[in-house]
Amino acid sequence: MMPSPYPLEEELGMRYYASVTPGIGGRLRSSPEDFVVEELPLPIRDPDGPYLICRLTKKNWELQRAVKEIAKQLGISHRRIAWAGTKDKNAVTTQLISIYDISPEEAGRVHLKDISLEVVGRSQHQIALGGLAGNRFEIVIQDCIPENLSERVQAVTEVASAGIPNYYGLQRFGVVRPVTHIVGESILKGDYEGAVVTYVGRAYPRESEEAQRARTHFAETRDARAALADLPIQMTYERAMANHIVANPGDYAGALRALPPKLLSLLVSASQSYLFNCALSCRIGAGLSLSQPEVGDRLLFLNGREDIVTARNQKAAELQIRRGRCQIAIFIPGSGPIVSHGRMDEIMQELMQKSGVDAGDFERASRFVETKFAGVLRPVALSTDVQADVSDASVRLRFTLPPGHYATTVCREYMKADPYMMI
């Protein structure tokens, strides 16, 4: 393992690389075509229902905004559109979406630049968040360091096959403004004003000067009317929150609810993602393996079964992990009780105490957001067979990941570059 030298990765809990090979450098997403994502959907259940299933292909569109524009053209609420996973903005992505009570002819009248909708069927059920088999990626890293490029790529490819830290990637927290976990923590604590001020008012240097000025002024004054006048027109979520405060002074809880429900839910779950990243880095920092189980470790099997490593079953657990039947996992807490089984559970409880949140906060947030934030296991290691092709100073990577795993986590092992080179 090798520590990351980048303050942003340290801030987001992504503190280590699995490989010790020097990075290849380079840049992701020189163009959207350099980052292609194809969702691997689950089979459509119970056809001929009220939900129209469409294949959405988009280029350089943030998913929430794409859905709102599609809904606008259809003349419906965006809440009637559902999807399985949020895909990258600066990319070419393909995924299934479900639209309630819309005909194929109506869907065919959607015309948006760099967006296409292809009707693939109907279903009795809307597509559920997380309801996908995985994602297939084809990614080109441009402008790599040319010296010994093939050898360095091969070395990391071997490590990726064995397993790298399964961090939540930068985009989970916001690429230009990594604040989602901070907003989520404020919501958990019931500090709705703090959540709004962070979301609307925390400026980052990679934004335009206009945006930075508007954010800073709002953070200093709480003047929502001035924010409406100053925020760039494309900042629709920030403007929606400011507009609510203008109409309802002091109602910061209502301002948060002006956000799309799925986005509001993602803010809270981002705080869970942050806790996982920090706990995983603590595991690595303590010298614990990603593949050799310790007594008290939690195990997650391919069929979803869970188990705890004990002195009696430790050898059997090692065998099951080697055979790929299960993985060591960290429990990410939610609204339920936390039962400590080993060192990783203790580390997670210490992190929660440091953050000042507990299970009761997740229960309150569940009521506020109207989404259940239950505890969940996440594997500590990500392993995938990468097909890597080197051409001059560019590297093309092809690989497939399970749901909830991040392609940028794979790419960072190769690049070991400033994380802003990956956005």
Residues 6+ apart with CB under 8 A from 167: 13, 14, 277, 280, 406, 409
- Bridge-based pairing of strands 35-41 and 92-100 is parallel
Of 88, 297, 345, 361, the catalytic one is 88
d(CA 244, CA 250) in angstroms, rounded, equals 9
Distances (CA, A) of 413 to 100, 166, 207, 382: 41, 11, 27, 11
d(CA 14, CA 170) in angstroms, rounded, equals 9
Contact 405, 37 (CB under 8 A): no
Contact 115, 87 (CB under 8 A): no
d(CA 138, CA 37) in angstroms, rounded, equals 7
Phi, then psi, of 246 in degrees rounded to 5: -60, -45
Torsion of CA 267, 273, 275, 281, to 10 degrees: -150
Q: Give, as one character, the DSSP assignment of residue 111.
A: -
Checking phi first, is residue 118 left (phi over 0); if not, alpha (psi -120 to 50) or beta?
A: beta
Handedness of CA 94, 96, 98, 104 (dihedral sign): positive
**88 is annotated as an active-site residue:** yes
Residues 6+ apart with CB under 8 A from 185: 271, 274, 355, 357
Contact 253, 364 (CB under 8 A): no
Hey, what are 383's tokens?
């392993």
Contact 419, 7 (CB under 8 A): no
Hey, what are 315's tokens?
């050898």
Which residues are known to be catalytic? 88
